[in-house]
Amino acid sequence: MFLYTSRKDERITIPARHIEDVELSDSAFGVDFELGKRYQEFLKEMVRFALLGIAGYGFLIKEVIEPRGNITTGQESMILVSLICLACAVGFGLYCGELDKACLRMQITILRLLQRLSSEKWTNPAYSSPEEVASWQKTNRADLDRIRDCQKHNLQRARHMLRSTVWSLGLGIVLTSAAFMWCLHSTMREVRSALPMASASEPGNGHPLCCQCAQDRKPGPPATSVGA
């Protein structure tokens, strides 16, 4: 669990003893789940944009770079850096989503522990013995403090991952746009430079061979009739 909670155990030490220990009202966690759902949708959109940028390079390579047959070192470096940024955005975004799920899971565990600490079946010695009640209270409070600390570290890590996702995606989009414009500009410049050469190869445009052909095609003197 070191990916989520800084290598701290988030499990409850004492398992549930009654069905009431796992039951929670919708009002207790409904708002948290709604916020988590919107957060997941936001992360999915960022991951989708990053994947679209990566897919766009397939079009760029196949339709622009491959027909040219050459690419400059600067363009290659820009494409590699932008691909790295987009890939990092995808990885950070997916990891950030897992961190959010872990936070929600810890929140459910915290609510159940708070419910235990106020339940008569865990606090009333009539259902067990005073020694067991004291042991349960001590263990449940220790679990609550530990899981809250786990959630705190988890939220801090999720915040850093979210910032990394946004920065990686933003930088990847900027570099991708620049790489597309650079490659398209180079392609259009090559096309413009090839147009005068193509026009010069046509008859009558100053090319020596074409002028010779034009002279050969000049009509000769009119033929005289035999009777004259």
Instruction: Check residue 214 and give its pLDDT.
Output: 46
Question: Are the CB atoms for 119 and 20 separated by under 8 Å?
Answer: yes
Residue 122 lies in a domain: yes
Instruction: Check residue 6 and give its pLDDT.
Output: 57
**Residue type present at position 62:** K
Closest CA to 13 of 111, 118, 150, 137: 137
Residue 170 lies in a domain: yes
pLDDT higher than threshold 50 for residue 211? no
Q: What is the mean pLDDT of residues 38-65?
A: 88
Long-range contacts of 187-190 (CB under 8 A, 24+ apart): 187/64, 187/68, 190/68
Q: Which two tokens stand for residue 124?
A: 């009333």
Average pLDDT in the chain: 80
Q: What is the mean pLDDT of residues 12-37?
A: 83
Q: What is the mean pLDDT of residues 199-204?
A: 52
Q: What is the mean pLDDT of residues 75-89?
A: 91
pLDDT higher than threshold 90 for residue 89? yes
Instruction: Check residue 80 and give its pLDDT.
Output: 92
Q: What digits encode the pLDDT tens for the residues 91-108?
A: 999 999 999 998 898 999
Question: Are the CB atoms for 86 and 127 separated by under 8 Å?
Answer: no
Q: What is the mean pLDDT of residues 189-205?
A: 61
Instruction: Check residue 213 and give its pLDDT.
Output: 47
Taking the alpha carbons at both ends of the chain, their separation in whole angstroms is 114
Q: What is the mean pLDDT of residues 184-198?
A: 71
Instruction: Check residue 225 and give its pLDDT.
Output: 47
**Residue type present at position 120:** E
More confident residue, 8 or 227: 8
Residue 225 lies in a domain: no
pLDDT higher than threshold 60 for residue 221? no
Residue 19 lies in a domain: yes
* Distance, CA of 45 to CA of 51 (rounded, Å): 10
Residue 176 lies in a domain: yes
Q: What digits encode the pLDDT tens for the residues 170-187?
A: 999 999 999 888 888 777
* Distance, CA of 106 to CA of 144 (rounded, Å): 10
In the chain, the number of structural domains is 1
Residue 68 lies in a domain: yes
Instruction: Look up the pTM and report it.
Output: 0.73
Which residues span the domain enclosing 173?
Answer: 7-216
What is the band of 122 on the pLDDT scale with cuts at 50, 70, 90?
confident
